Amino acid sequence: MQLNEIFPKRYASAEELQGKEVTLTIARVVPEKMRPNQKSPEVQKHVVYFREARKGVVMGKSLAYQMADVLGSEETNDWAGKVVTLSSVTMDVAGRKVLTFQAKRPAATAVAGHQVPKGLSDDDEHEHEGV
């Protein structure tokens, strides 16, 4: 059994895309309190939830502005019902390479939710209704 099956993550990670692109429909964007690690104080970050996926994506500044550009609005309340394609990209963060999400305009032939990677669509104890 894989460790990510024993200890499922609450939020989606770029690794779960398995090098593929996925086109999803935004359900909502909500602020959530979380701890970046066990020793950190609690912080509030915004999480994007999609109709076709169980896990949300935590937005950093880069992803938020990419999504605003793709969706044509910096107002996250306008994003519900709109479609975006997510892929993964390697970035340098604090001197180390990390895999992170990248937002793109969907291709004309993209179908929302078509072949959502297993990690994004898994049910777990952190399931959110309506996602």
- Per-residue pLDDT tens over the stretch 44-99: 999 999 999 999 999 999 999 999 999 999 999 999 999 999 999 998 888 999 99
Distance separating alpha carbons of residues 33 and 47, to the nearest angstrom: 10
Residue 28 lies in a domain: yes
**Mean pLDDT, rounded, for 19-38:** 93
pLDDT for position 109: 75
Class of residue 114 by CB neighbours under 10 A (exposed 0-12, middle 13-18, buried 19+) = exposed
Tell whether the model's pLDDT for residue 121 goes beyond 70.
Answer: no
Sheet holding 22-34, edge to edge: 57-58, 43-50, 22-34, 83-93, 96-104
Evaluate whether 45 touches 57 at the Cβ level (below 8 Å): no
Residue 86 lies in a domain: yes
Residue 120 lies in a domain: no
Structural domains of the chain, count: 1
Evaluate whether 30 touches 46 at the Cβ level (below 8 Å): yes
Residue 107 lies in a domain: yes
Residue-range definition of the domain harbouring residue 30: 3-114
pLDDT for position 6: 79
Which whole-number Å values give the CA distances from 60 to 3, 8, 26, in the listed order?
A: 26, 21, 16
Residue 64 lies in a domain: yes
Residue 129 lies in a domain: no
**Mean pLDDT, rounded, for 3-14:** 83
Question: Average pLDDT over the chain, rounded to whole?
Answer: 86
